[in-house]
C-alpha cells in the first residue's frame, strides 16, 4: 500500500494522489517528480525558496498588480498566472477548461478611478411581516389585590394583544413572570413563583393565549425590629417614629414608609443631619414559620438648635432684613418645618430667581448640650419689574381695562413703586403706590396711595382724588392666613353731580371726606381665588366725616359671610350673605360715590351696575344708606371647564338699616375656564322681577369667582 503524503507537506498542482486501495483512479500520467519517487512522496519546498518565487510588491496601492513569473527551478511550486477558467471534473481528474483570455492578463484599473457616488434612486424593499394576535390570562394575583398593578406594568398588556411572532409573545410572558414575582415579594411573599405558558387557541387557528399562573407561597413577617443608633433625646425618639412591630408583613411599601417617617420626623425634633442607612432583613426560610429579622442603622448626627442666619450669593437682602422672616428664636430646638417656612417666606417676596436655606454645623455647643446650627441663605437675584394687565366687561359698567408697572425693590428692602392706569368706557384714572412689604416685621405691609379718576355712571358722574395710607396683615398665594386685618387713613376730594330732590334737578357738588377705614377677615376656606370648602367672615368699619359747608361725621359698616360646601369632587355649593349700613348722616348729605348701591357682577347679577335702590324721577339710581345681598351658586367642574347656575337677591335702601320687603331676584348661568392664576368667568343673568328700565339680559366677564 503506497504511503500518503506526510503532514506538513505541500502537494504541488498537477501531481497524482497516492495509490492505495481507496485511492481514486485516474487516467492522468504521473509527472517527473512522481516517476522519480516510486513511493509517491512529494518533496518539501523550503520557505526561503517559496518566498523567493513571489514577485516584489509596490508601495502604491493604486498601482496595477504585477504578473507573477514562473520559477524554472526544479522542485519549485508553479503559481499559475493565466489560468482563467475554473477547473471542472473530467472523470477522476480535474482539468482546466477554456482557452486563456489575454484581456485578463492586463493590469487592473486603479481604485481611485472608480466613481463612488451613491445612486440617487435607491429602493428599499418593505417586507410586511404577518402580525399575530394573542389573549392574556393571569391567575393567582387577584387574591393579593395585585391584578390592577400587574396590568398597568405588564409587557403582555402593553403589547395590546399584538405581536410579530410567537417568540415575541414568549419573551413578554417571561418578562411578566419576573414582574409577578417582584410584586408578590413586595408584599412579603419571598417564596413566590410564576410560570407562563403560550399555547394555541383551539377554536381560533393562528391565535395564541398566554397564561400566567402566580403562586405566592408563604407570607414572611418581622421576627424582630432593631435600630442601631447613638443615644437620642428622648430615648425612644427613633423607635416610636419607626412604625414597625413584630408580626408585621415584610411589605416593601410599609418598610419604606416607616424609614421615610424617621428621615422626616427627626429633623423636626432637633436632628437636622440624620441619615438613615441601608436596612438588613435576614430571612429564616428554613424555620417552621416564615420570618425575617429587621435591622436599621441610623446616623442621627448631633442634637441641634437654631443659631445665626448667614448669607451668600447674589445678595437681594442683607442679614438684617433676613432676620425679619424667621418664626423661631436663636437657641430654640431645631425644627425643619421652621426652616422650610423661612424659605417659603423668601420665595413669597418674588425677588429671587432661586433661594435655598441650608443648616450648617458650627461646633458651637450650647449650655443645654445642643450644637448651634447656622442657617445659610443662598440667594440668586431675580427680576424685580413686572408688567400686568387685566380686563373685564359687565352690563352697566362697560369695558374696563387696567395696566400696571411695578418695581418690587426700587427702595430696598422691599420698597416697591407701582404705577397703574385704568381705561374704560365709564371709568378712567391713574394711580401711584408706594408699598413696603415685611415692614419692620414679617407679613406687615405699609402702603401709600395717590390716585385720580373720572367715573361716569347712571348714579353719578364724579372727579375723585384720593390720598391714603394703610397698614395691613394680608394673605398671600403661598400663605392664606386664617386672620388678616388692615387699618389706615384716607383723604378724598370729589366733585360730583347728584339729583337734588329739593330743587328737582341734577346739580354738581364738591365734597371733602376724611376716613379711618379698617377691616378684619376670618378665613377658613381652602383657596383665595377658587375656594371649594370652608367659610369666610369679613367686617368693614370706617368712621368718616363729610365736609360740605359743615362737618358731618358718620360710620359706614359692612358685614359679609361666604360658605363653600363640596358635594363631591366635581360639585361645590357656594353661598354668600352681605349687609351694610351707614349711621349718623342723611342720604342727601353723603357724596353719591360713598353711598350703597346694588346690582352688577359682584352684587345681584341680572341688574345693571348700581341699578338697585332708590331712583330719581328720571329713573336713575341715587343710592341708599343700607344694603343686603344674597347669592347661591352650584359650581360644577369638569376638567379645566365649569358650569355655574346661580340665583342672586338683594337691594339697597334709603333707611339706615336694610329690610327684606323689596328684594330683587336675578338668575342665570355662567361658564368657567380654570387657569393657574384663577378661573376666567363669564356669567349671563336675567332679572326675575325687573322694574321699568331694567334690561332683560346682563353679561359679566372677569377673572375670579363672583365670591
| Of the candidates 610, 637, 626, 702, the residue with the CA atom closest to the CA atom of residue 662 | 626
Per-residue CA distances from 695 to 399, 522, 603 (Å): 17, 37, 16
Q: What is the mean pLDDT of residues 412-426?
A: 94
Does the pLDDT value for residue 141 go beyond 50?
yes
Peptide bond into 234 cis (omega under 30): yes
pLDDT at 290: 92
pLDDT grade for 391, boundaries at 50, 70 and 90: confident
pLDDT at 88: 39
Q: Within 10 Å of residue 264's Cβ, how many Cβ atoms?
A: 13
pLDDT at 45: 66
Q: Read off φ and ψ for residue 347, nearest 5 degrees.
A: -60, -35
Q: What is the mean pLDDT of residues 329-343?
A: 96
Query: CA neighbours within 13 Å on the CB side: how many for 1?
Result: 7
Does the pLDDT value for residue 56 go beyond 80?
no
Does the pLDDT value for residue 163 go beyond 90?
yes
E strand or H helix at 73: none
pLDDT at 78: 41
Burial status of residue 271 (CB atoms within 10 A of its CB: 0-12, 13-18, 19 or more): buried
**Higher local confidence (pLDDT), 420 or 702:** 420
pLDDT at 24: 36
Provide the 8-state DSSP code for 266. G
Out of 71-80, 386-395, 638-647, the most confident range is 638-647
Q: What is the mean pLDDT of residues 45-53?
A: 70
Whole-number Å distance between alpha carbons of 394 and 593? 19
Whole-number Å distance between alpha carbons of 447 and 435? 4
Burial status of residue 91 (CB atoms within 10 A of its CB: 0-12, 13-18, 19 or more): exposed
> Tens of pLDDT along 220-263?
999 999 999 999 999 999 999 999 999 999 999 999 999 999 99
pLDDT at 27: 40
Q: What is the pTM of this model?
A: 0.70
Out of 67-71, 201-205, 683-687, the most confident range is 683-687
Whole-number Å distance between alpha carbons of 90 and 663? 123
Which residues, 6 or more positions from 205, have their beta carbon under 8 angstroms from its beta carbon?
none
Which residues, 6 or more positions from 508, have their beta carbon under 8 angstroms from its beta carbon?
495, 496, 497, 498
Whole-number Å distance between alpha carbons of 555 and 543? 4
Does the pLDDT value for residue 322 go beyond 50?
yes
* Average pLDDT over the chain, rounded to an integer: 84
Of the candidate ranges 78-92, 200-214, 301-315, the one whose mean pLDDT is the lowest:
78-92
pLDDT at 59: 53
pLDDT at 499: 84
pLDDT at 119: 44
Q: What does the angle CA 659 – CA 663 – CA 665 come to, to the nearest 5 degrees? A: 155
> Tens of pLDDT along 427-458?
999 999 999 999 999 999 999 999 999 999 88
Q: What angle do the packed helices 252-265 and 166-186 form, to 10 degrees? A: 50
> Tens of pLDDT along 562-607?
999 999 999 999 999 999 999 999 888 899 999 999 998 889 999 9
Does the pLDDT value for residue 123 go beyond 70?
no
In the chain, the percentage of residues whose pLDDT exceeds 90 is 65
**Higher local confidence (pLDDT), 507 or 182:** 182
pLDDT at 500: 83
pLDDT at 578: 96
pLDDT grade for 678, boundaries at 50, 70 and 90: confident
C-beta of residue 582 within 8 angstroms of C-beta of residue 596: yes
Q: What is the mean pLDDT of residues 279-291?
A: 89
pLDDT at 111: 53
E strand or H helix at 173: helix 166-186
> Tens of pLDDT along 524-534?
999 887 899 99
Amino acid at each position: 500500500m503506497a504511503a500518503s503524503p506526510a503532514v506538513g507537506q505541500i502537494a504541488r498542482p498537477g501531481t497524482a494522489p497516492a495509490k492505495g486501495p481507496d485511492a481514486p483512479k485516474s487516467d492522468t500520467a504521473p509527472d517527473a517528480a512522481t516517476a522519480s519517487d516510486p513511493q509517491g512522496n512529494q518533496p518539501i519546498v523550503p520557505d526561503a525558496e517559496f518566498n523567493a518565487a513571489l514577485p516584489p510588491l509596490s508601495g502604491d496601492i493604486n498601482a496595477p498588480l504585477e504578473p507573477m513569473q514562473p520559477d524554472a527551478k526544479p522542485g519549485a511550486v508553479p503559481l499559475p498566472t493565466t489560468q482563467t477558467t475554473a477547473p471542472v471534473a473530467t472523470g477522476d481528474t480535474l482539468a482546466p477548461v477554456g482557452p486563456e483570455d489575454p484581456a485578463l492578463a492586463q493590469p487592473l484599473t486603479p481604485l481611485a478611478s472608480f466613481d463612488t457616488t451613491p445612486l440617487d434612486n435607491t429602493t428599499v424593499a418593505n417586507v410586511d411581516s404577518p402580525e399575530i394576535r394573542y389573549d392574556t390570562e393571569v391567575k393567582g394575583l387577584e387574591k393579593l389585590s395585585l391584578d390592577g398593578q400587574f396590568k398597568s406594568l405588564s409587557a403582555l398588556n402593553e403589547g395590546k394583544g399584538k405581536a410579530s411572532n410567537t417568540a415575541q409573545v414568549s419573551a413578554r410572558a417571561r418578562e411578566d413572570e419576573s414582574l409577578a414575582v417582584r410584586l408578590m415579594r413586595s408584599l412579603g411573599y419571598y417564596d413566590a413563583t410564576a410560570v407562563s405558558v403560550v399555547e394555541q387557541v383551539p377554536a381560533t387557528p393562528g391565535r395564541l393565549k398566554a397564561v400566567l399562573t402566580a403562586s405566592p407561597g408563604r407570607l414572611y413577617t418581622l421576627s424582630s425590629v432593631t435600630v442601631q443608633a447613638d443615644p437620642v433625646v428622648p430615648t425612644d425618639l427613633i423607635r416610636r417614629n419607626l412604625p414597625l412591630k413584630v408580626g408585621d408583613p415584610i411589605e416593601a411599601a410599609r418598610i419604606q414608609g416607616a424609614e421615610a417617617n424617621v428621615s422626616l420626623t427627626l429633623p423636626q425634633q432637633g436632628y437636622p443631619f440624620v441619615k438613615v442607612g441601608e436596612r438588613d432583613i435576614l430571612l429564616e426560610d428554613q424555620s417552621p414559620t416564615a420570618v425575617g429579622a429587621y435591622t436599621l442603622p441610623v446616623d442621627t448626627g448631633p442634637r441641634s438648635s437654631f443659631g445665626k442666619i448667614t448669607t451668600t450669593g447674589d445678595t437681594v437682602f442683607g442679614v438684617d432684613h433676613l432676620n425679619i422672616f424667621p418664626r423661631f428664636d436663636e437657641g430654640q430646638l431645631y425644627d425643619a418645618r421652621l426652616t422650610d417656612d423661612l424659605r417659603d417666606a423668601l420665595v413669597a417676596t418674588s425677588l429671587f430667581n432661586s433661594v435655598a436655606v441650608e443648616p450648617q454645623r458650627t461646633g458651637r455647643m450650647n449650655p443645654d448640650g445642643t450644637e448651634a446650627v447656622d442657617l445659610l441663605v443662598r440667594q440668586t437675584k431675580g427680576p424685580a419689574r413686572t408688567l400686568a394687565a387685566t380686563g373685564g366687561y359687565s352690563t352697566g359698567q362697560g369695558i374696563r381695562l387696567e395696566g400696571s408697572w411695578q418695581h418690587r425693590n426700587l427702595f430696598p428692602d422691599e420698597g416697591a413703586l407701582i404705577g397703574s392706569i385704568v381705561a374704560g368706557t365709564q371709568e378712567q384714572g391713574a394711580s401711584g403706590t408706594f408699598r413696603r412689604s415685611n415692614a419692620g416685621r414679617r407679613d406687615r405691609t405699609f402702603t401709600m396711595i395717590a390716585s385720580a379718576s373720572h367715573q361716569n355712571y347712571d348714579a353719578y358722574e364724579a372727579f375723585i382724588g384720593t390720598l391714603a395710607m394703610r397698614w395691613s396683615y394680608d394673605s398671600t398665594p403661598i400663605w392664606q392666613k386664617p386672620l388678616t386685618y388692615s387699618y389706615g387713613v384716607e383723604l378724598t376730594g370729589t366733585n360730583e353731580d347728584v339729583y337734588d330732590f329739593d330743587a328737582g334737578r341734577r346739580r354738581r357738588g364738591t365734597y371733602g371726606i376724611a376716613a379711618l377705614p379698617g377691616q378684619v377677615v376670618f378665613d377658613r376656606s381652602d383657596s383665595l381665588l377658587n375656594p371649594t370648602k370652608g367659610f369666610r367672615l369679613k367686617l368693614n368699619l370706617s368712621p368718616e366725616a363729610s365736609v360740605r359747608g359743615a362737618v358731618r361725621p358718620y360710620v359706614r359698616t359692612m358685614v359679609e359671610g361666604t360658605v363653600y360646601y363640596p358635594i363631591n369632587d366635581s360639585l361645590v355649593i357656594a353661598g354668600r350673605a352681605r349687609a351694610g349700613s351707614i349711621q349718623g348722616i342723611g342720604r342727601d348729605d353723603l357724596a353719591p360715590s360713598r353711598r350703597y348701591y346694588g346690582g352688577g357682577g359682584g352684587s345681584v347679577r341680572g341688574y345693571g351696575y348700581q341699578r338697585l335702590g332708590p331712583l330719581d324721577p328720571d329713573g336713575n339710581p341715587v343710592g341708599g344708606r343700607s344694603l343686603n345681598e344674597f347669592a347661591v351658586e352650584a359650581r360644577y367642574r369638569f376638567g379645566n371647564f365649569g358650569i355655574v347656575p346661580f340665583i342672586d337677591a338683594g337691594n339697597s335702601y334709603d333707611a339706615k338699616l336694610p329690610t327684606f320687603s323689596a328684594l330683587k331676584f336675578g338668575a342665570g348661568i355662567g361658564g368657567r375656564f380654570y387657569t393657574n392664576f384663577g378661573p376666567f368667568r363669564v356669567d349671563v343673568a336675567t332679572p326675575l322681577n325687573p322694574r321699568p328700565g331694567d334690561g332683560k339680559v346682563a353679561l359679566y366677564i372677569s377673572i375670579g369667582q363672583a365670591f
